[in-house]
Each structure stands twice: as structure tokens, then as C-alpha cells.
Amino acid sequence: MRKRLLLLTAAILFVIILVGALTRNIWAPLIARFLIVSEALQRSDVIIIPSGTEDGGRIRYGVSLYRKGFAPKILLSGSSYLVEETGIDLMKVYALSLGVRERDIWVDHDSGSTVENALFAKRIAEKNKCQSVLVVTSPTHSRRARVVFNKIFQKEISVRVSCDPSTLDVKRWWKVPATAREVAYEYFVFLCYTLFGF
């Protein structure tokens, strides 16, 4: 009896794994798509770009929106301390090299997380009498960014979140180890934020 139960359990697990493997092209893209939030673009008072990607994609996308007139200012938010400069200093240099005027860049050097990005960005936005912000982030970070920024900004300042979805291949993300880690990390951190508020 016990041997039959063990064989039945093994057979069921085998079928589940087989069906999962054969249908991953259906369900795996849904896992990545859930993370992506890109709301309709509207003119805002400032584009907020949190640090967090090493490839400069957030900055390039944010600067493209700045150039199209979606906001007159860019706020670079984060810390990412390196040897002598902060990641934010390097982000600023990159934004300047892409044509953003120095007077149009605000900088927050103190944030070390998405929650801190939102907290410090809200202070800067309030100080500058902003009524609306556009948060530009990576596709996998966009859902968490929307939840965090909306919670912290409440309804006092309008928040929209945008990302360049073309930078994430939802049909193949699990085949690229770095992207698979990024998706897994975002689910883990989103779950921690949802359960514990950090």
C-alpha cells in the first residue's frame, strides 16, 4: 500500500513537471507581465529616476521623456556608493551627456531603497511645489514602484509610473540567467514589501 502511494505521488509530480515544462511558453510570460506597469504618459512636474540598473536604461528612457516635454525637471534618486563617487553622481554625468541641462536635474543622494526613493522624492517634490510626478523605472521594478510611490505620496501629489517594456523580453526572460534572477528578486522584494512594509 505504501509503495503504491509513493509511486502514485511520483507519477503525479512527474505529470505536473511535464505539463509545466511543455506549457511554460504560456505561463512563464504571464509571470513577467504581472510585474510590468506602464501607465499612460501625462505631462508632470518632474520625472523621478530611481537608481538600480547598471545599464543606464532608466536614464535613457527618462531623458527621452524629458526631451519630449513630459516634464521640465529630472530627479535622480538613490545612493549606490562607489569608491569615490556615488552612483547618482554617475547617473547625473550620464544624463548631462544625453543633453539634460544641469539646472533641470535635481539629485537625492540619500536613498538606499525604493521606499527611501519615494520618501525623499516626496520631500523634494513638496519643497518645489510639484503637483505631479512621473516615476521612470525598469519593467520588473515598475509594479513595486507604483505601489510604494502611491502609498507614500498618497493623493497629495499625482503619481504615474512608466517604463520601457521593450527592455524586457517577456517571452524568453527565464532563458537569460540575469533576467531570471531579476524577476525572482522582484517577486521576493514585492512580497516582503506587501507583508512587512519594507
Mean model confidence pLDDT for the chain: 89
As given in the structure block, the three cell numbers for residue 93 are 554625468
160 and 83 fall within a common domain? yes
How much is the pLDDT for 81?
55
pTM of the model as a whole:
0.86
73 and 163 fall within a common domain? yes
Domain that holds residue 187: 2-34+169-196
Q: Which of 14-23, 65-74, 120-129 has the lowest mean pLDDT?
A: 14-23
60 and 125 fall within a common domain? yes
Query: Is pLDDT of 106 > 90?
Result: yes
3-state secondary structure 12-24: HHHHHHHHHHHCH
65 and 84 fall within a common domain? yes
94 and 188 fall within a common domain? no
pLDDT in tens, 68-105: 999 999 999 987 555 455 578 888 999 999 999 999 99
61 and 158 fall within a common domain? yes
The identity of residue 193, as a single letter, is Y
53 and 106 fall within a common domain? yes
First and final C-alpha spacing in the chain: 49
- The burial class, CB within 10 Å (0-12 / 13-18 / 19+), for 38 is middle
26 and 111 fall within a common domain? no
107 and 181 fall within a common domain? no
110 and 142 fall within a common domain? yes
pLDDT in tens, 144-180: 999 999 999 998 899 999 998 888 899 999 999 999 9
91 and 163 fall within a common domain? yes
138 and 84 fall within a common domain? yes
| Residue 60, domain CATH | 3.40.50.620
Average pLDDT of the segment spanning 21-47: 89
Domain count, the chain: 2
